[in-house]
Amino acid sequence: MTGKERLIAALDRKVPDHLPATTHHLMETFLQAEMGGCSNLEFFRQMELDPIVWVGDNILTQEQKDNWRIEKEPVEATDYRTEKISFVTPAKTFSVLNKYDVHTTWQIGHLLEDKNDIEIIQRYWPVPKVDKEAVKRAAAENPECLIRGAMYGFYQPGCWQDLCGFYGVENVIMETFDDPDWVKEALTIIRDKKLEYADSMEGCPFDVIELGGGDASTTVISPSIFEEFVAPFDAPVIKRMQEKGQRVVYHTCGGMMPILEQLADMGPNALETFTPEGMGGDANLALAKKRIGDRVCMIGGFDQFHYFNGCTPEETRKYVRKCFEEAGEGGGFILSPSDHFFQAEKELIRAFAQEAIACKY
């Protein structure tokens, strides 16, 4: 099998030739510092991992650009490089601060300071269309790679996750108690925009599309909040994307075990990241496989903090084998680090990949 065939077999809960192994996003600083500045595809080739190509090209009309104009202005700061990011609409200008270090970007403040401004978001936040030609080119140029995309969002793909990006996760959690009707109104606005974006996915040769986000994990919210404010809004988006011919992976970086069945009930093709306790999550792969492994493909489960750094290749191999024994039976499992990594020893990544190849069905 090619890497693409192997990953698709697992996504479709079929049995591949051996355990698929890949990564989520690759950080540019890691590629520069540890891999000599190689490309993503060269990393996959060198490490013998199943390759993924991310495609995120979208098309906006000129009117949409005019009604949601983004302006950036440098800001003097004593700690990190800082920019003021302004979103200029005909009704109001929203602003946040972005800070940057060599690894990542983070936001200071939230776009929405007044709950009533969700009406401005409804009117002016643009919904682009997927650039189908860009997706087709990526698929044609990378026939042995999984083509992966993500649901459009201001912050991250999921409806709840986007609202938390707009208004702040602590604020949104409090509003589920103080003003639940507003939360549902805001989520409905965001959901409807995502449904519109999903309509443009028809005919795009993606292999899988990501939805969700860590703010919907039980590390952050309770199962009851998930049941009332997450699942009813993300489930229709999953269904719409599938109606347009797309597989969907629901991304929950954090706690998952208390809501496993609720996650599977939304109907995604796959769930990730099954973050283990050593990475701050709660995943028990064996128990998760028993509970929902016959319903969805499971992606993740690997502790990159302890087994991509500071251990022996044999210890890494043993951990890979443990993951395979707990979740690999019958296929439907893709071994992957539970989200990004910033540092890793190449020798241990190779051990990770080679042991996965040795895990035969």
| Residues 262-294 pLDDT 10s | 999 999 999 999 999 989 999 999 999 999 999
Domain that residue 308 falls in: 3-60+126-358
Residue 72 belongs to a domain: no
Number of domains in the chain: 1
Q: How far apart are CA 216 and CA 36, in angstroms?
A: 36
Give the pLDDT confidence score for residue 358 in this predicted structure: 98
- Decide: 336 and 11 in contact? Cβ < 8 Å: no
Residue 96 belongs to a domain: no
DSSP-derived 3-state class of residue 178: helix
Residue 88 belongs to a domain: no
Residue 136 belongs to a domain: yes
Q: Give the chain's residues under pLDDT 50.
A: none
Give the pLDDT confidence score for residue 102 in this predicted structure: 87
Give the pLDDT confidence score for residue 339 in this predicted structure: 81
- Decide: 5 and 17 in contact? Cβ < 8 Å: no
Give the pLDDT confidence score for residue 38 in this predicted structure: 95
Q: Which of 212, 121, 109 is nearest to 160 (CA)?
A: 212
Kindly state the tokens that stand for 34: 């540890």
Residue 86 belongs to a domain: no
Give the pLDDT confidence score for residue 154 in this predicted structure: 87
Give the pLDDT confidence score for residue 101 in this predicted structure: 92
- Decide: 269 and 296 in contact? Cβ < 8 Å: yes
Residue 105 belongs to a domain: no
Residue 108 belongs to a domain: no
Return contacts of 318-323, CB within 8 angstroms, 24+ apart. Answer: 320/19, 320/21, 320/351, 320/352, 320/355, 320/356, 320/359, 321/355, 321/359, 323/285
pTM: 0.96
Residue 117 belongs to a domain: no
**Which runs of consecutive H residues, i.e. helices, occur in 100-158?**
118-124, 132-141
- Decide: 99 and 105 in contact? Cβ < 8 Å: yes
- Decide: 8 and 17 in contact? Cβ < 8 Å: no
Give the pLDDT confidence score for residue 348 in this predicted structure: 97
What is the CATH number for 324?
A: 3.20.20.210
Pairing between β-strand 105-108 and β-strand 93-100 as defined by DSSP bridges? antiparallel
